[in-house]
């Protein structure tokens, strides 16, 4: 069965960077892109970017383009999100999700989410 297991972040200080990992299992990692979506407290879902697990190419939301890096390790079947220069507005639950299809993909499996709290 498809599983996405997330780890990382937690509490981080303003101005610091943080990384969240997303380990995939139950399918061939390189055949699906990994999407990253965040949800601030009480807010809607916000797309941050996606990475092609086969070739490592990434597409970023314009909002996060300068501060986010997506990467993956195919041997570890793991995708990573790194966010730089965090502020309190980055406090959110961060989800990774598997994309199905090309452009206009839907997200068929989601990780449980990683809570990141940016606070001094």
Query: In angstroms, what is the minimal distance from the CB of 82 to another protein?
Result: 19
Task: Give the DSSP letter string of 35-85.
Answer: EEEEE-TT--EEEEEEE-TTT--EEE-TTTTTTEEEEEEGGGTEEEEEE-S
Q: Per rule CB under 8 A, is residue 13 in the interface with another protein?
A: no
Which residues are within 8 A (CB) of 74 and not within 5 positions of it... i.e. 6 or more apart? 29, 30, 53
Q: Per rule CB under 8 A, is residue 25 in the interface with another protein?
A: no
Q: Per rule CB under 8 A, is residue 58 in the interface with another protein?
A: no
The CA distance from 21 to 67, in Å, is 17
Q: Per rule CB under 8 A, is residue 18 in the interface with another protein?
A: no
Q: Which of 9, 24, 32, 35 binds another protein (CB under 8 A)?
A: 35
Query: In angstroms, what is the minimal distance from the CB of 46 to another protein?
Result: 7
* Residues making contact with another protein (CB under 8 A): 35, 37, 44-47, 50, 59, 61-62, 95, 97, 100, 103-104, 106-113
């Amino acid at each position: 069965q498809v599983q996405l297991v997330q780890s990382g972040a937690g509490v981080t200080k303003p101005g610091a960077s943080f990384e969240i990992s997303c380990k995939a299992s139950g399918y061939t990692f390189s055949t699906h892109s990994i999407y990253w979506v965040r949800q601030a407290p009480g807010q809607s879902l916000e797309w941050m970017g996606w990475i092609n697990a086969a070739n490592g190419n990434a597409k970023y939301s314009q909002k996060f383009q300068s501060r986010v890096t997506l990467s993956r390790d195919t041997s570890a079947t793991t995708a990573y999100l790194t966010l730089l220069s965090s502020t309190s507005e980055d406090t959110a639950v961060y989800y990774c999700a598997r994309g199905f299809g090309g452009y206009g993909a839907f997200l068929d499996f989601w990780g449980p989410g990683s809570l990141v709290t940016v606070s001094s």
